[in-house]
Chains A and B, each alone.
Chain A
């Protein structure tokens, strides 16, 4: 790590290095890929939510003029799935469809119009199966099973962990709060629809251009799905027109166009329609939660028990991890001496859920932060003060053995309290107006990759030559967040040059070192550390060559403003290019690599791999609401948010991530819902996405967006490059509960479910007027057959990170169906 304290690049607001391409229309998104002889693909999707395919007749489609190829499930014998433990998807369903939108056949034709016409000529005979539409139905239905693997029936996953005796902790508490919450599912809605183009190159090898956040994972999974040697597959992640987690799976269409390109020997492209993007989903799981929290009368938490039930949709996707994430990160924000969580994920006949910004953690965060508001009120405490008094301590372990390093949360709380004038507004505004506070925490990269290996999670390669050019290669993927800019900035800072003098080559498995991808807020930390290592290795070579020339020692060589100079005599200098020439003369062709592997996590129990991270980011947020008592109409005039970023690499981009998180969070809080329509079962088995369009799935317009006042708290984290933590996901987390808490402050009603819509507010106000409990939310938590928990003692109760029991599973696990 660089010892220098003043930076030339880091922390300075700058034009992003890819900014020019983005404003000129030159950024080449996947659907902008146009290749000679390219043909076009469309997918036929199941119109039924759950059925067996009895036969498919493609002859009329094959014969349609302009059609080159028709593919069905028979052409794809191998299953796939993003997690090694859930290889449960087929590129095209061979015998079973599990949701409306499940792909069944593909047509490749001279143009999209022809392919679309031919889809209607494919005849599929289905035999319908019982539709399973929601978690309670899934729990109650042993047969038919949507998948033949999982815990039992339609339960995909059951997880149970207990860190210290929570029953005892609750029994000894002065108060136990017991609340049930519901968080509706929602989707990423990138404005760019998923697109992929595949081609066979001059050597007969496959190249796939795709709107993906994870080219490395796609590379592995695609090679396996097509049974090709991975060395003959190249995946190029085009810059994504928004990702938010929705482009982290291998998707059916990616495999289909790859196969078609191999069969036809010519490029094949697909671009999903907006409706199909809603079917790809992999978005926020609908989660029902129960939280029981014991507190002392001065507001200290004695123990917490979180139970969650996730509606997983029809496939595994990242669901196993999502299920863990509804439990594991509850402990890194506040001091929780004992903790227990039970989590379950069920299969239903809907598009699969997966990772969306915050992956599995916004739902329990909502519950926890709303419950804290209730606790503060009951105990007569200020909710901001209560939080300040229980903020987790730096350099500690949590009950579930996560290692907290730096934590700037208290500073974040103090900042939003000051900027929002909290003390003069909370419980003091006129009726109808209110403020609410909430906090959040998030990973800076998942500690483990999704497949077991001991290799680095990020690699960076640098190339310099006598022309003075610096090229940096990394598998990380630009999805709008600014990863290319972070990479250029870090290399430029170390080498003392301008970021615009760094050529950035990223997201191409054929030419860039492996980086696991743009997910789990890992890129700045992992790629950044690898980039520092690579750049410092090169800088050392240059320093040695330049030192000889300037009659000094390498340690005395400085780099800044594209100059290399004697630190003790800056007048003795040469240009960066001259120094490279000296180094190339001395050492031969110049290049270096750097890599990063996160520190080993302290937890030793099975399941301890989900939750650890090199660092955690923290956020505090105050939201102001205005609620119309006659209609329940909700306005959010202003949001104050402070994020502990460690250090901002480029404050312009960092602020953009915070404001974008607030934007997406307000959508989730107030209007976004991925919801489904079940037709009357007497008349139809249909279960369809209710509103698969950009018009009816409500994303805030500029007129709906409040003013956001953003502050960045910089408390550099030693595990992070220049101290920089994540900023892409964490700032979303506190916003939803802050909205709910502000609505309570405004009109005294609790809406314990998201989204909070005016009809729910009005219903709660009507209850209030009648003297009933002024609350809208789930009335009960369903009966879930959670297994006996794995017991691990917290560090302060003599634990060593291992489990102290061998829990019995509720049912034997079976192999994945094939």
Chain B
């Protein structure tokens, strides 16, 4: 457990459509770089071992766990976090539905679930309940019992189909 000469790496990450040059310790995962080096604290963490789903973000549109992604490997990839979900000040239909229908209680697992649900709806505009359950089965929520999350995703999907965005 010795300290090696700490030397930051310097690279460009594209987060929420914006490229930013950043410098960070090379051992950092994408989660740490987002939260600590880019001040994007919307992405949460509950275990840092891939056991809860709180840190889920999209990389090239695919939901992954930022706690197990080396930031070093993220150059040139499109990273999407909860901060990029709204359109200006207009909430994404999923965000609005989660806020309206109890999909977020404490709100801590919410960013990971929103990003996961966004990826689902981009593949399938009207997923059934079973598909939604499967899609978010890697996101633990201790507050809701999931039902209002399903309903929020269904309502978000409905609003998206109706062209809210």
With A702-B133, A702-B137 known as contacts, the answer to whether A22 contacts B46 (CB < 8 A) is no
A74 shortest CB reach to chain B, Å: 26
8 sampled A-B residue pairs with Cβ under 8 A: A23-B104, A191-B142, A193-B45, A239-B106, A241-B44, A243-B106, A274-B48, A703-B133
A65 to B103, CA, bound (A): 46
B119 beta carbon closer than 8 Å to chain A: no
Q: Which one of B58-66, B68-76, B108-116, B157-165 is at the A interface?
A: B108-116
- Are the C-beta atoms of B98 and A23 separated by less than 8 Å? yes
| A583-613 interface code vs B (CB 8 A; 1 in, 0 out) | 0000000000000000000000000000000
One of A190, A659, A708 near B142 (C-beta < 8 A): A190
- Are the C-beta atoms of B46 and A191 separated by less than 8 Å? yes
A263 beta carbon closer than 8 Å to chain B: no
B35 partner residues in chain A, CB cutoff 8 A: 32
Q: How many residues of A contact B (CB 8 A)?
A: 62
A705 to B146, CA, bound (A): 8
- Are the C-beta atoms of B144 and A656 separated by less than 8 Å? yes
A479 to B98, CA, bound (A): 17
A28 partner residues in chain B, CB cutoff 8 A: 41
A46 beta carbon closer than 8 Å to chain B: no
A806 beta carbon closer than 8 Å to chain B: no
A504 shortest CB reach to chain B, Å: 15
| B141-165 interface code vs A (CB 8 A; 1 in, 0 out) | 1111111111000000000000000
- Are the C-beta atoms of B107 and A239 separated by less than 8 Å? yes
- Are the C-beta atoms of A23 and B95 separated by less than 8 Å? yes
One of A191, A655, A663 near B54 (C-beta < 8 A): A191
Q: Which one of A13-21, A539-547, A566-574 is at the B interface?
A: A13-21
- Are the C-beta atoms of B44 and A191 separated by less than 8 Å? yes
| B11-42 interface code vs A (CB 8 A; 1 in, 0 out) | 00000000000000101000000010001111
- Are the C-beta atoms of A20 and B91 separated by less than 8 Å? yes
- Are the C-beta atoms of B147 and A25 separated by less than 8 Å? no
A25 partner residues in chain B, CB cutoff 8 A: 40-43, 81-83, 111
B121 beta carbon closer than 8 Å to chain A: no
B99 beta carbon closer than 8 Å to chain A: yes
A433 to B98, CA, bound (A): 35
With A24-B86, A25-B83, A705-B145 known as contacts, the answer to whether A192 contacts B46 (CB < 8 A) is yes
Closest to B138 in A: A701
A802 beta carbon closer than 8 Å to chain B: no
With A23-B98, A23-B99, A34-B41 known as contacts, the answer to whether A29 contacts B147 (CB < 8 A) is no
A664 partner residues in chain B, CB cutoff 8 A: 142
Q: How many residues of B contact A (CB 8 A)?
A: 62
B136 beta carbon closer than 8 Å to chain A: yes
Most B CB within 10 A of own CB, among A113, A188, A653, A656: A656
B124 beta carbon closer than 8 Å to chain A: no
B105 beta carbon closer than 8 Å to chain A: yes
- Are the C-beta atoms of A21 and B107 separated by less than 8 Å? yes
A27 partner residues in chain B, CB cutoff 8 A: 107
- Are the C-beta atoms of A65 and B102 separated by less than 8 Å? no
A693 beta carbon closer than 8 Å to chain B: yes
Given contacts A25-B82, A191-B44, 10 further A-B contacts (CB under 8 A): A23-B94, A24-B42, A114-B3, A655-B148, A656-B102, A659-B148, A694-B49, A701-B137, A702-B136, A702-B137
- Are the C-beta atoms of B143 and A480 separated by less than 8 Å? yes
- Are the C-beta atoms of A659 and B144 separated by less than 8 Å? yes
With A652-B101, A664-B142, A703-B134 known as contacts, the answer to whether A120 contacts B1 (CB < 8 A) is yes
A241 shortest CB reach to chain B, Å: 3
With A653-B102, A660-B143 known as contacts, the answer to whether A23 contacts B107 (CB < 8 A) is yes
Closest to A696 in B: B51
With A24-B42, A24-B86, A694-B47 known as contacts, the answer to whether A191 contacts B140 (CB < 8 A) is yes
One of B47, B133, B144 near A660 (C-beta < 8 A): B144
- Are the C-beta atoms of A24 and B82 separated by less than 8 Å? yes
B51 partner residues in chain A, CB cutoff 8 A: 274, 693-695
One of B2, B44, B49 near A695 (C-beta < 8 A): B49
A514 beta carbon closer than 8 Å to chain B: no
A242 beta carbon closer than 8 Å to chain B: yes
With A693-B51, A694-B52, A702-B136 known as contacts, the answer to whether A192 contacts B44 (CB < 8 A) is yes
A37 shortest CB reach to chain B, Å: 15
B94 partner residues in chain A, CB cutoff 8 A: 23
Which residues of A, 239-261, contact B by the 8 Å Cβ criterion?
239-244
- Are the C-beta atoms of B145 and A663 separated by less than 8 Å? yes
Closest to A120 in B: B1
Closest to B100 in A: A15
With A24-B85, A191-B46, A659-B145 known as contacts, the answer to whether A19 contacts B106 (CB < 8 A) is no
| B126-137 interface code vs A (CB 8 A; 1 in, 0 out) | 000000111011
A702 partner residues in chain B, CB cutoff 8 A: 132-134, 136-137, 139, 146, 149-150
B132 shortest CB reach to chain A, Å: 8
- Are the C-beta atoms of A663 and B102 separated by less than 8 Å? no
One of B107, B136, B142 near A22 (C-beta < 8 A): B107
- Are the C-beta atoms of B107 and A117 separated by less than 8 Å? no
B99 partner residues in chain A, CB cutoff 8 A: 15-16, 19-20, 22-23
With A113-B25, A694-B52 known as contacts, the answer to whether A242 contacts B142 (CB < 8 A) is yes
B109 partner residues in chain A, CB cutoff 8 A: 191, 241
Closest to A24 in B: B86
A538 partner residues in chain B, CB cutoff 8 A: none
A244 partner residues in chain B, CB cutoff 8 A: 142
A189 to B139, CA, bound (A): 14
A653 partner residues in chain B, CB cutoff 8 A: 102, 105
A3 beta carbon closer than 8 Å to chain B: no
A482 beta carbon closer than 8 Å to chain B: yes
A652 to B100, CA, bound (A): 8
Closest to A21 in B: B107
Closest to B25 in A: A113
- Are the C-beta atoms of B105 and A480 separated by less than 8 Å? yes
One of B100, B106, B133 near A240 (C-beta < 8 A): B106
A769 partner residues in chain B, CB cutoff 8 A: none
Closest to A22 in B: B107
Which residues of A, 656-677, contact B by the 8 Å Cβ criterion?
656, 659-664
B142 partner residues in chain A, CB cutoff 8 A: 188-191, 242, 244, 660, 663-664, 699
Most A CB within 10 A of own CB, among B44, B101, B105: B105
A32 partner residues in chain B, CB cutoff 8 A: 35, 41
- Are the C-beta atoms of A23 and B110 separated by less than 8 Å? yes
A500 to B157, CA, bound (A): 25
Which residues of A, 468-513, contact B by the 8 Å Cβ criterion?
479-482
One of A193, A241, A659, A694 near B106 (C-beta < 8 A): A241
A323 to B1, CA, bound (A): 44
A26 beta carbon closer than 8 Å to chain B: yes
With A652-B148, A663-B144 known as contacts, the answer to whether A113 contacts B27 (CB < 8 A) is yes
A193 to B51, CA, bound (A): 13
Enumerate the 5 nearest inter-chain pairs by beta-carbon distance, A residue then B residue, closest first. Answer: A25-B42, A480-B106, A241-B108, A22-B107, A19-B99
A655 partner residues in chain B, CB cutoff 8 A: 102, 148
A480 to B111, CA, bound (A): 14
Closest to A665 in B: B145
A22 partner residues in chain B, CB cutoff 8 A: 98-99, 104, 106-107, 110
One of B86, B106, B133, B137 near A242 (C-beta < 8 A): B106
Closest to B105 in A: A480
Closest to A189 in B: B142
A241 to B106, CA, bound (A): 5
B105 partner residues in chain A, CB cutoff 8 A: 480-482, 653, 656, 660
- Are the C-beta atoms of B107 and A480 separated by less than 8 Å? yes
- Are the C-beta atoms of A659 and B107 separated by less than 8 Å? no
A67 to B12, CA, bound (A): 30
A114 partner residues in chain B, CB cutoff 8 A: 3
B45 shortest CB reach to chain A, Å: 8
A629 shortest CB reach to chain B, Å: 26
Closest to A699 in B: B140
